[in-house]
Structure 1
Amino acid sequence: MAHPSGSYSVNAEPSDESEDNEPLLRDVTIPPLCCSARLNLASLMFLGIAVVYGLRVNLSVAMVAMVNTTGEPVPGLNGTVRACPLPAGPDNTSKTFEQPEGTPQYPWDAETQGWLLGAFFFGYLCTQIPGGYLSGHYGGSVFLGLGVLGTATLTVLTPLAAKWGPYWLFALRALEGLGEGVTFPAMMSMWAHWAPPLERSRLMSMSGNGANFGAFVAMPLTGYICQTLGWPAVFYICGGAGCLWAVFWFLLVSDDPRTHRRINEEERDYIIASIGHQGSGHGWSVPVLSMLTSVPLWAIIITQMCSNWSFYTQLTSLPTYLNNILHFDLKSNGFLSAVPYLAAWLCATMSGFLADHLIERKVFSVTTVRKLFTLTGMLFPASFLLAVAYSGCSHVLTIIFFTLTSATGGTSGAGVFMNQIDIAPRYAGFLLGITNTFGTIPGVIAPIATGYFTKDHTMEGWRKVFWVSASVNVCAAIFYTLFGSGEVQPWAIPKDEDDKDEGKRTRSVSA
């Protein structure tokens, strides 16, 4: 419906009749979500995103086993405490981790590790916008499927690249980032065709939260595989899982409910009627200038950049922190690194359902809901990261605060991280490519900055890491509160629909 501001919202609950007394959704039955084609799509997306996130984070845990110098004590300077004391007796495991015979290890220092952990994001930056643009034109299923398949295939080559040297491994990880860069824009493009406005939060949260679930599964599994089969097996197994998923994806998925072979007529009509013109592709032409000058879009871009700084810091550096500072053994390291992502997965999924409930019941507007969940997902993690910084050597407090950081951060999944489809549904994939490109910059810089701050393995260095992350979160929360929006912007309205609305207004004035 048209708003006085000139914006357009498909998120508001549709009225029974249009201005011309033409029925809109009166004769369309809302089919249950359970066992539906749109839920099946969300489930397959969930598994695919879980796989690619597992491929993304497994190096973070495997790095502890790949490097034979992590956890080495660094002499104190001027009485400074460099790390927590080693556990006494048999629990003292802060030594080079034993691997099956013949498993190679490498003498990479903290800065080299930081570059290798950040290499993925150099490639990830490059394909976000092209992936979103092409997905919006051709459909997202093929790009999402090939993105996962390509990343999985390259992952299998990781042990060979590591053997050749850090430069080769850096290049391989950057290529993996190129392949995975198209996945999230492609997912957003598909939901523009599949997600009814009143179900967007839950469907997109369910599928996108595969990221947290993938991290939750991959981290302890990686630690277990490293100590039982050797770290190279991690990349063979995870890469094989991605290839297997791609087979099911290409067999079962369709870009649009109109072309889906197994959807029932009732569900197809409901999706098409509820999305309307906004479910159409954008063609080759996009309003780039209008996008560049859109304040709500820049609110998303800046907020995602700031939020991702703390997310990527924790994603890539938590295993190293638990090893170098708290001296957890590798199996415990993998499990404890994963616990925060289990909490984030559960919290983000529930937030998606709650956000849809608030919108459907008209408790708050879409804009208010997005801002509310974004504020929660930015300010609470900032406070808990600072609590981690001053938890000292307490294992229990550190894990509790890291878990609370991720859990509360998960609520932003129902906020800014799905805001593109609110402000421009038909350009959602392209916009996600833009916002994710900017949002990936912290993925490049944060691990390198962490490596720089923590090169001496000091508690003081890690406190700087946490303070920086908390500060950027607070800045993002303020900015989004001031400039964020949940309404479809005028430049995102299809021209034929805009002309139709203008005709209705003209007829109304004539009458």
Structure 2
Amino acid sequence: MSDRPDQPEWGIKFSKCFIIPQRVIVAIMGFLAIVNAYTMRVCLSQVIVVLVVPKNVTNHHSQAVCKPEEGDSVTHRPGGDYEWSEKLQGFILGSFYIGYVVTHIPGGILADKFGGKWVLSLGILLTALFSFLTPTCVNLGGANALIALRILMGFGEGTTFPALSVMVSNWVPANERGKLGSLVMGGCCLGSIVGNSISGLILDRFHWPWVFYFFGMAACVWFIIFTLLCYSYPHSHPFIKPSEREYLMNEIPQPKQKPPVPWKAILTNLPMISVIICQIGHDWGFFVMVADLPKYMANVMRFSIKSNGLYSSIPYVVMWLMAVGSGCASDSIIKSGCLSRTNTRKIMTAIAAFGPGIFMVAASYAGCNRPLVVILFTLAMGTMGSYYAGMKLSPLDMSPNYAGTLMAMTNGIAACAGLVSPYVAGLLTPNANMTEWRVVFWLTLGILSATVIVYLIWASGEIQPFDDGTNSNKKKEEPAK
């Protein structure tokens, strides 16, 4: 026990004030980190509807664009003075991911080496500061300034998932990974819920800049609380209960010094390649929904701005519930021995790929039946929730020592879909009608299906040979007995 730092006496006394275990507090604060990251990311999808000049859809065919919702006329629809084409809007929404990709690998490496606390918290704080500046940039510089600022926001948020993966690997034992890991990673669902619904409410009652001020302030409050309560490692936490500290140190041994990242072994590892490919497909489908669902609801289904915020957020409520529920279920399945960790991850991931694609396409054939469209999009996002108990946990399964680096690679490379998918959607929907959006959803189904098949063939839920720092994918031979 001599290699473990002594806990200060004041810390032991202060630990008695906490009823909830520190690993749960870390998971909750990690969850809220992603919530804040996503509210600041997705709220522009609602705001952009009131920034641009409203489309004149009176001459469109009825089967391509629905009649306005009761109480919402074409002449009274909210809109601004910016004549941004659908293609330009797609690029504005996707520009965030240019900066987002850049800081993934550096963020993962820094978090693996120094711990995730400050890599995570400073990234969120930086994004909050840029959120405050968004109204000024739009008013002074228009589309070009907004694109530049969104790239900088992505730069700040790029460290979020790599840093959180490191913190989860350092705080969450393997037998709790599905439950607490899915809770943390499911923050994007609640972030999308809050980002869409609160944005709709604010836009209905206040001027649009208050959307960015509100979410920026919430992120600053999170930063203060997180930096006071959370630490990178159990052994460095001053007021963790000694019993929990000992439990975590025994369950999650922390090496004093990690070997250099075995890049060759990681880049040539088939399970790792399958994870990256599958994440690309997932991100394509997810970002189509995050960036474009509010636009579909506004331009095609003709919901009012208040209803748009509400109905665009409902699918994420079910997705969040599915994420948490599937996490608990996967832990139970693995513990019971009914399925291996690998097969459990594959089943959860398959549900999260085929379900969303099928229901998205079905929604595009539901016409102007608003309740049915909302139900189908809700089922699409709900089934996608099991992804967080599936492929999203694969980097933690395969390499606890390099979880941050692996998450940075998978999330960073796949985030390119966040740049491309809204832009492609904009190219395919110049008139923003139902027929054009149907093509977008069919394309999404094809990408989700093709990429998940690769994962189902080659993915693994077991620790890979490179986890010990060796540049080899060959398993060590067991010594002869």
* Both structures adopt the same fold (TM-score exceeding 0.5): yes
Alpha-carbon distance, 1:335 to partner: 0.5
Structure-2 residue corresponding to 1:25 = none
C-alpha separation in 2, matches of 1:290 and 1:329? 52
**Residues 23-80 of structure 1: per-residue CA shift (max 9 Å, x gap):** xxxxxxxxxx9711100111111111101100000000111111123x421745xx79
C-alpha separation in 1, matches of 2:257 and 2:377? 41
C-alpha separation in 1, matches of 2:132 and 2:235? 37
The answer as to whether partners of 1:98 and 1:227 remain within 8 angstroms in 2 is no
Normalising by structure 2, report the TM-score. 0.92
C-alpha separation in 1, matches of 2:85 and 2:210? 23
Kindly report structure 1 stretches of 4+ aligned residues shifted beyond 3 Å. Answer: 79-82, 92-99, 279-284
Q: 2:368 aligns with which of 393, 404, 415?
A: 393
Q: 2:103 aligns with which of 127, 131, 142?
A: 127
C-alpha separation in 1, matches of 2:73 and 2:255? 57
Alpha-carbon distance, 1:130 to partner: 0.8
| 1:492 partner amino acid | D
Structure-2 residue corresponding to 1:321 = 296
What fraction of aligned residue pairs are identical, expressed as a percent? 34
Is 1:267 aligned to residue 267 of structure 2? no
| 1:151 partner amino acid | T
Q: Which runs of 5+ in 2 are unaligned?
A: 1-17, 471-475
C-alpha separation in 1, matches of 2:222 and 2:302? 36
Q: 1:464 aligns with which of 417, 439, 444?
A: 439
| 2:53 partner amino acid | N
The answer as to whether partners of 1:136 and 1:282 remain within 8 angstroms in 2 is no
Alpha-carbon distance, 1:282 to partner: 6.3
C-alpha separation in 1, matches of 2:203 and 2:351? 36
The answer as to whether partners of 2:68 and 2:303 remain within 8 angstroms in 1 is no
Is 1:223 aligned to residue 205 of structure 2? no
Structure-2 residue corresponding to 1:366 = 341
C-alpha separation in 2, matches of 1:257 and 1:353? 23
Is 1:73 aligned to residue 46 of structure 2? no
| 1:41 partner amino acid | V
Structure-2 residue corresponding to 1:376 = 351
Is 1:55 aligned to residue 43 of structure 2? no
Alpha-carbon distance, 1:86 to partner: 3.2
Q: 1:357 aligns with which of 332, 340, 345?
A: 332
Tell me the SS of whatever aligns to 2:388: helix
Tell me the SS of whatever aligns to 2:265: helix
The answer as to whether partners of 1:376 and 1:409 remain within 8 angstroms in 2 is yes
Structure-1 residue corresponding to 2:49 = 64
Structure-1 residue corresponding to 2:8 = none
Is 1:181 aligned to residue 165 of structure 2? no
| 1:430 partner amino acid | T
Q: 1:151 aligns with which of 120, 127, 136?
A: 127
| 1:92 partner amino acid | D
Is 1:86 aligned to residue 71 of structure 2? no
Check 1:323–1:289 CA distance in 2 against 1; reply closer, same or farther (3 A cut). same
Counterparts of residues 217-256 of structure 1 (less than 5 Å): 217-256=194-233
Alpha-carbon distance, 1:91 to partner: 2.2
Q: 2:273 aligns with which of 284, 298, 302?
A: 298
C-alpha separation in 2, matches of 1:296 and 1:439? 16
Q: Which runs of 5+ in 1 are unaligned?
A: 1-32, 496-500
The answer as to whether partners of 2:259 and 2:469 remain within 8 angstroms in 1 is no
C-alpha separation in 1, matches of 2:272 and 2:102? 20
Is 1:109 aligned to residue 94 of structure 2? no
C-alpha separation in 1, matches of 2:456 and 2:130? 41
Structure-1 residue corresponding to 2:396 = 421
| 2:56 partner amino acid | E
Structure-1 residue corresponding to 2:145 = 168
Alpha-carbon distance, 1:170 to partner: 0.1
Check 1:95–1:257 CA distance in 2 against 1; reply closer, same or farther (3 A cut). farther
| 1:433 partner amino acid | A
Alpha-carbon distance, 1:479 to partner: 1.1
Tell me the SS of whatever aligns to 1:486: coil
The answer as to whether partners of 1:282 and 1:426 remain within 8 angstroms in 2 is no
Normalising by structure 1, report the TM-score. 0.86
C-alpha separation in 2, matches of 1:469 and 1:343? 20
The answer as to whether partners of 1:74 and 1:82 remain within 8 angstroms in 2 is no
Check 1:229–1:494 CA distance in 2 against 1; reply closer, same or farther (3 A cut). same
Check 1:478–1:112 CA distance in 2 against 1; reply closer, same or farther (3 A cut). same
C-alpha separation in 2, matches of 1:191 and 1:230? 39
**Residues 89-128 of structure 1: per-residue CA shift (max 9 Å, x gap):** x5233445458xxxx6422221111111011111101011
C-alpha separation in 1, matches of 2:403 and 2:409? 10
Count of paired positions: 459
The answer as to whether partners of 1:119 and 1:173 remain within 8 angstroms in 2 is yes
Check 1:367–1:383 CA distance in 2 against 1; reply closer, same or farther (3 A cut). same
**Residues 309-344 of structure 1: per-residue CA shift (max 9 Å, x gap):** 111000000111011111100000000000000000
**Residues 335-372 of structure 1: per-residue CA shift (max 9 Å, x gap):** 00000000000010011111111111222111011111
